[in-house]
C-alpha cells in the first residue's frame, strides 16, 4: 500500500459469484494494487444499478443483463456501462417444490435430467392444470433483466410452454426465494448460489437442472463500471482487473476452496454456512435432502481458463433474449451497443494479453439452432414462442 491509495466503493449482492470481489478485498489483492476498497453489501439489484449510475459506487457486482439493459436504456435511464471482467460464468439452478418435481417426474416420458424431456413434462403438467381450471404455476426469478428470467423462459418454451401465457413469472429477491417456495407462493424458481442449496438442505425444494444444463456457458455476473469512468480512470480499472484476476485464479483452485468458503461465509460478507458455499464452489450440489450429490465442474465457473474474460458473444446472446421476450426491439445499433458493454480489450490491457491467445467462446444451448451472434435476425424467427416484433 502507498500513500497514493485510491479509495473505491464497490457494491455487491451477497451471492457466491461475488467471490472474486470479496476474495480480492479480504486477501488484500486490491490493497497490493494500491486500491483501498470499501465493499458495500446491497439488498437489491435496483439499488446496485442506481448507485452505480449516479456515481455512489465506482464499480459493482452486477447481473450481466442489467449492465446491458442499462447501456441500452431499457426499462430505466440510459447509462452506458463497461464490463472489463466477468465475475461468474453459470451458477444458477432451477429448483422446484417436491410436489411439482414429482408431477414432472410422473409426466416425463424420457430422462427427467434431460431439459428437453423435463420441459415437455412441464408442458403436460401445465396443460392438465389448464383443463382442470386451476391457477397457472408460478415461478420466481431474480430480476426482469437476469439470466434467471431468460433461462426459465428458454427452458419452458423449448417444451412448448409460453412463459407469459401459460405460467406466471414473478421477481423475488434471492433471500425471499426459499421462504416463497415453502409458503407455496411459488412452485419453483431459478436463482444463483447459495439459494438452491439452502432450499434443498431445508427439505423445501429439489434441484431439477443446473443452469449449465440449459446453456453450457453463460456470463452471469460482471464487474460493471460506468463507461465514462473506464475512459477517465483506465489505470484504476486495470488495477482492479488485476486484483480480481488474481482472486479469481486463487478461487478456481480446489485446494483453496476451504479458505475461500471461510472468507465468504463471514456474516458481513455472504453470511451462509461454509459447507453450502463450498459445495457451490466445488460444483457438488445435493439435489434433494438426503439425496445424491450431483457433481458438475461447469456448475459455476470463477477464474481459470479465460473464464473472466468478457466475451461479446455472451452479450449478444443476452441481447437476443431481450428481443425474443419483447423487452426491446431488434436493431443493429442496439446490438452493437450491447456487445460493446463487454470489454475484452480492457481485460487484455490490464493483464498484458493479446487477443489472439484467447479462443473465442461459444454458447451451447440445449435447444434451438446454434447461436449466431452475427445474425440474430435469422436466429430469432427459429423460435415458435416469443414476443419479438
Partner 1 sequence: MDHGLKIVIVDESAIRAAILEEGLREAGFTQVVRIAEMNNLLARVYAVDPDVILIDLENPSRDVLEQMFQVSRAVRRPIAMFVDQSDTASIQASVDAGVSAYIVDGLKKERIKHILDMCISRFNAFSRLQGELDVAKSALEERKVIDRAKGILMKAKNLNEEAAYALLRKTAMNENKKIAEIAQSVLTAAELFK
Determine if 293 is a binding residue for partner 1 (CB under 8 A).
no
Nearer residue to partner 1 within complex by CB, 1 or 54? 54
* 55: region left, alpha or beta (phi > 0 left; psi from -120 to 50 alpha): left
Number of residues that bind partner 1 (CB under 8 A): 31
Nearer residue to partner 1 within complex by CB, 51 or 257? 51
Determine if 47 is a binding residue for partner 1 (CB under 8 A).
yes
Question: CB under 8 A: which stretch of 29-37, 162-170, 290-298, 376-384 binds partner 1?
Answer: 162-170
Determine if 330 is a binding residue for partner 1 (CB under 8 A).
no
Classified as helix, coil or strand, 67 is helix
**Number of other CB atoms surrounding residue 135 within 10 Å:** 8
Question: Shortest gap between Cβ of 150 and partner 1 (angstroms)?
Answer: 13
Nearer residue to partner 1 within complex by CB, 13 or 83? 13
Determine if 257 is a binding residue for partner 1 (CB under 8 A).
no
Classified as helix, coil or strand, 144 is coil
Determine if 327 is a binding residue for partner 1 (CB under 8 A).
yes
Q: How far apart are CA 250 and CA 272, in angstroms?
A: 21
Residues 201-240, one symbol each (x = binds partner 1 by CB under 8 A, - = not), give ----------------------------------------
**Number of other CB atoms surrounding residue 237 within 10 Å:** 25
Report the candidate in 185, 226, 227, 230 with the shortest Cα–Cα distance to residue 205: 185
Question: Shortest gap between Cβ of 71 and partner 1 (angstroms)?
Answer: 14
First to last CA, the chain: 54
Q: Which of 109, 111, 135, 165 binds partner 1 (CB under 8 A)?
A: 165
Question: CB under 8 A: which stretch of 41-49, 125-133, 337-345, 372-380 binds partner 1?
Answer: 41-49
Question: CB under 8 A: which stretch of 172-180, 258-266, 272-280, 356-364 binds partner 1?
Answer: 172-180
Determine if 54 is a binding residue for partner 1 (CB under 8 A).
yes
* Residue ranges of E strands in the chain: 6-12, 35-41, 59-63, 81-90, 92-97, 138-141, 168-171, 188-192, 205-210, 219-226, 284-286, 293-295, 300-301
* Range 58-117, binding partner 1 (CB under 8 A): 75-78
Report the candidate in 94, 95, 67, 91 with the shortest Cα–Cα distance to residue 17: 91
Q: Considering only CA atoms, give the Rg of the chain.
A: 20
Q: Which of 185, 257, 274, 284 binds partner 1 (CB under 8 A)?
A: 185
Phi, psi of 43 (to 5 degrees): -105, -15
DSSP string, 90-103: E-EEEEEEHHHHHH
Q: Measured between alpha carbons, how far is residue 15 from residues 62, 120, 257, 271 in Å?
A: 11, 31, 15, 10
Determine if 168 is a binding residue for partner 1 (CB under 8 A).
yes
* Range 120-159, binding partner 1 (CB under 8 A): 142-144
Instruction: Give the residue carrying C-alpha cell 389448464.
Output: 130
Determine if 184 is a binding residue for partner 1 (CB under 8 A).
no
Nearer residue to partner 1 within complex by CB, 45 or 317? 45
Question: Shortest gap between Cβ of 146 and partner 1 (angstroms)?
Answer: 9
- Judge whether 29 and 246 are in contact, CB under 8 Å: yes
Determine if 50 is a binding residue for partner 1 (CB under 8 A).
yes
Q: Which of 28, 44, 228, 374 binds partner 1 (CB under 8 A)?
A: 44
Q: How far apart are CA 311 and CA 322, in angstroms?
A: 18
Question: CB under 8 A: which stretch of 102-110, 153-161, 165-173, 360-368 binds partner 1?
Answer: 165-173
Using CB under 8 A as the criterion, which residues of the chain lie in contact with partner 1 when the complex forms?
43-47, 50-51, 53-54, 56, 75-78, 142-144, 164-165, 168, 170-173, 175-176, 180, 183, 185, 326-327
Amino acid at each position: 500500500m502507498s500513500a497514493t491509495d485510491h479509495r473505491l466503493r464497490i457494491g455487491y449482492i451477497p451471492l457466491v459469484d461475488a467471490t472474486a470481489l470479496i476474495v480480492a478485498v479480504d486477501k488484500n489483492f486490491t490493497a497490493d494494487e494500491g486500491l483501498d476498497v470499501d465493499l458495500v453489501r446491497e439488498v437489491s439489484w435496483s439499488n446496485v444499478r442506481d448507485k452505480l449510475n449516479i456515481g455512489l459506487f465506482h464499480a459493482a457486482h452486477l447481473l450481466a443483463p442489467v449492465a446491458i439493459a442499462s447501456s441500452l436504456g431499457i426499462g430505466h435511464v440510459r447509462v452506458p456501462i463497461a464490463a472489463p471482467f466477468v465475475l461468474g460464468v453459470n451458477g444458477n439452478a432451477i429448483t422446484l417444490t417436491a410436489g411439482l418435481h414429482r408431477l414432472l417426474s410422473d409426466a416425463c416420458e424420457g430422462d427427467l435430467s434431460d431439459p428437453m424431456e423435463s420441459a415437455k413434462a412441464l408442458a403436460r403438467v401445465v396443460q392438465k392444470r389448464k383443463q382442470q381450471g386451476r391457477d397457472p404455476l408460478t415461478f420466481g426469478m431474480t430480476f426482469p433483466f437476469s439470466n434467471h428470467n431468460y433461462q426459465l423462459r428458454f427452458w419452458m418454451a423449448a417444451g412448448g410452454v409460453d412463459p407469459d401465457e401459460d405460467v406466471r413469472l414473478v421477481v423475488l429477491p434471492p433471500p425471499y426465494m426459499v421462504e416463497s417456495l415453502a409458503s407455496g407462493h411459488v412452485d419453483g424458481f431459478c436463482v444463483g448460489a447459495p439459494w438452491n442449496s439452502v432450499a434443498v438442505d431445508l427439505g423445501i425444494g429439489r434441484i431439477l437442472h443446473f443452469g449449465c444444463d440449459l446453456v453450457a456457458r453463460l456470463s452471469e455476473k460482471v464487474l460493471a463500471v460506468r463507461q465514462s469512468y473506464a475512459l477517465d480512470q483506465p489505470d484504476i480499472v486495470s488495477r482492479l482487473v488485476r486484483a480480481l484476476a488474481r482472486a479469481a485464479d486463487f478461487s478456481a483452485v480446489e485446494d483453496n476452496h476451504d479458505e475461500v468458503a471461510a472468507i465468504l461465509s463471514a456474516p458481513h460478507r455472504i453470511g451462509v454456512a461454509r459447507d453450502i458455499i463450498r459445495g457451490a464452489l466445488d460444483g457438488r450440489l445435493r439435489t434433494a435432502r438426503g439425496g445424491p450429490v450431483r457433481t458438475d465442474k461447469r456448475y459455476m465457473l470463477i477464474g481459470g481458463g479465460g473464464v473472466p474474460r468478457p466475451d461479446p458473444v455472451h452479450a449478444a446472446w443476452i441481447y437476443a433474449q431481450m428481443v425474443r421476450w419483447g423487452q426491446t426491439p431488434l436493431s443493429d445499433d442496439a446490438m452493437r451497443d450491447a456487445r460493446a458493454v463487454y470489454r475484452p480489450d480492457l481485460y487484455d490491457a490490464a493483464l498484458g494479453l493479446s487477443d489472439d491467445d484467447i479462443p473465442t467462446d461459444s454458447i451451447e444451448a440445449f435447444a434451438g439452432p446454434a447461436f449466431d451472434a452475427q445474425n440474430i435476425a435469422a436466429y430469432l424467427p427459429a423460435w415458435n414462442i416469443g414476443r419479438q416484433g
